[in-house]
Amino acid sequence: MTTSEAGTDRRRLVADPSDAGLRVDIYLAERVPELSRSRAAKLLEAGRVAVNGRVARKSARLVAGDVIEFELPPPEPSTLEPEALPLTIIYEDRDLVVVDKPAGQVVHPSPGHRTGTLVHALLHHVRDLSGIGGVLRPGIVHRLDKDTSGLMLVAKTDAAHRRLAAALKRRAIERVYLVAVWGHLDTDARTVEAPIARSPSDRKRMAVVEGGRPAVTRFRRLERWVAADLLRAELETGRTHQIRVHLEWIGHPVVGDAVYGAGGERRISGPGRGWARAFAARVPRQFLHAAELRLRHPRTGEELHFTSPLPPDLARAAAWARESSAPTAGC
């Protein structure tokens, strides 16, 4: 690799079976929170990535057991223009910010989403974001899908970013979601432990795949409706689309999920079929909301706990489901 400069962050990863066949730039973008695919490509072009001790090319494809070593140079200043977009800040201090992201907003710039992202809003409202996430993702510790609403953690200093990313990796940050699913779980509580990787048949989707990365989600039923359940979902790991993939895999896809649960209401038979269609018509997007964050402050060690109620679009749908299910509630 190239000669390191002051402030360089050196890291080492090992490819697992689910990574076989992935290009190195895609692998790094998926595994390293601070890297976008374009930034990973720049590291490769600069000779900052090695596979099994040899400088890697962008086109190189991985096999299980490959050792990937790379260097993250000091953060670059952001070149993005701040935008005066609405931003709901739940908490802010000199180290971090907790925001409540609305559904429909992309977290960071990407092809097709060059403006109007959460990052653009953050740059306007928060002047001292950490640069460690790169020029396109300053301060971003973890992401939410475009159509998922709720709580997100953002670092304002590089030290906070490193500590929060490490806490996330060792599962020391509790993330809880509210999610509505089609059908009913067999029990009030269920833990799904199933490995996740890119779908072998569609690389744009994730799937439960033998040899994939370990993934664990804990589900608990909060309410039982006519043909759907409202669940509390707690992430023990944080794989891409984990909650949505696990629920599809157990046969209870997320209501309104166009990727993993399209047409889920049509799977409902019997007396609940009409109710399911009426409910689906009231859910404008995937019924998934990041409702709770619990963590220790990266500098002080103080325990922090944040909550976010269902936003109006999902709250209205839930109210209708609850009221229309009243005769069967608790069954």
Provide DSSP, 22-87: -BHHHHHHHH-TT--HHHHHHHHHTT-EEETTEEPPTT-B--TT-EEEEEEPSPPPP-PPP-----
Confidence (pLDDT) at 329: 44
% of residues, the chain, pLDDT over 70: 90
Confidence (pLDDT) at 201: 87
User: Per-residue pLDDT averaged across 125-140, rounded?
Assistant: 73
**Cβ(139)–Cβ(127) below 8 Å:** no
- Report the mean per-residue pLDDT for the chain: 89
pLDDT band with cut points at 50, 70 and 90 for residue 326: confident
User: Per-residue pLDDT averaged across 6-26, rounded?
Assistant: 83
Confidence (pLDDT) at 93: 95
User: Per-residue pLDDT averaged across 111-124, rounded?
Assistant: 82
Residue 303 DSSP symbol: E
**Amino acid sitting at position 230:** L
pLDDT digits (tens, 9 = 90+) for 252-292: 999 999 999 998 899 898 989 999 999 999 999 999 999 99
19: left (phi over 0), alpha (psi -120 to 50) or beta: alpha
Confidence (pLDDT) at 7: 55
With tokens 């190239």, the residue in question is: 2
**Cβ(119)–Cβ(140) below 8 Å:** yes
Half-sphere exposure of 100 (CA within 13 A, CB side): 13
Q: Is 145 a catalytic residue?
A: yes
Confidence (pLDDT) at 158: 85
CA dist 43 and 49 (Å) reads 6
User: Per-residue pLDDT averaged across 217-237, rounded?
Assistant: 97
Confidence (pLDDT) at 170: 86
% of residues, the chain, pLDDT over 90: 57
Q: Can you read off the two tokens belonging to residue 329? A: 């509630």
What is the helix (H) or strand (E) element at residue 20, kind and residue range? none
More confident residue, 15 or 34: 15
Confidence (pLDDT) at 226: 97
Confidence (pLDDT) at 2: 53
pLDDT band with cut points at 50, 70 and 90 for residue 77: low
pLDDT band with cut points at 50, 70 and 90 for residue 331: very low
Confidence (pLDDT) at 127: 77
CA dist 230 and 254 (Å) reads 10
**Is the pLDDT confidence value at 32 over 90?**
no
**Is the pLDDT confidence value at 61 over 80?**
yes
**Is the pLDDT confidence value at 6 over 80?**
no
Confidence (pLDDT) at 29: 81
**Is the pLDDT confidence value at 330 over 60?**
no
Catalytic residue among 145, 229, 257, 313: 145
pLDDT digits (tens, 9 = 90+) for 228-252: 999 999 999 888 899 999 999 999 9
pLDDT digits (tens, 9 = 90+) for 167-213: 988 889 999 999 999 999 999 999 999 999 889 888 789 999 998 88
